[in-house]
Amino acid sequence: MNTIFSERLKKAMDLCGYRQADVLEKAASICKETGTKLASGDLSQYLSGKTVPRAKKLDVLAQVLAVNNDWLDAMCLWSVQICSLRQTLRLPHKLD
C-alpha cells in the first residue's frame, strides 16, 4: 500500500478543485497524444493506495495536476534518500 503517493495525489486534486472525473477528462487529450490509457479504475486504485502508476501515467497525472513528477512520485523520494544514505556510508550503489 502506497499511502504517500495516494495522499499527494489527493492533495494535488484538492488544490486544483478536481474530482476523479475532472482528472480523467483533462487527461484524455494528453493520453491520446502519448498513447497512454488512464481509466477510472486506475485512478481509483491510485487514490486508495493499492497501486502506483508507471512512468507514462505518472507523467500524465503530473501534467494534469500541474505538479512535479518527483513530488508526486513518492518512490522517487525514497530513491533519493537511499542514494544519499549510501553516499554517507560510502556503500556501493549495488550490493551483492
Return the number of other C-beta atoms located less than 10 Å from residue 63's C-beta.
Answer: 14
Q: Is the pTM of this model over 0.85?
A: no
- Using alpha carbons, list the distances in angstroms from residue 84 to 26, 70, 79, 90: 36, 16, 9, 10
The yes-or-no verdict on residue 11 having pLDDT over 70 is yes
Q: Is the model more confident about 69 or about 24? A: 24
What is the tens place of the pLDDT at every residue in 48-94? 999 889 999 999 999 999 998 888 886 554 444 444 555 666 655 54
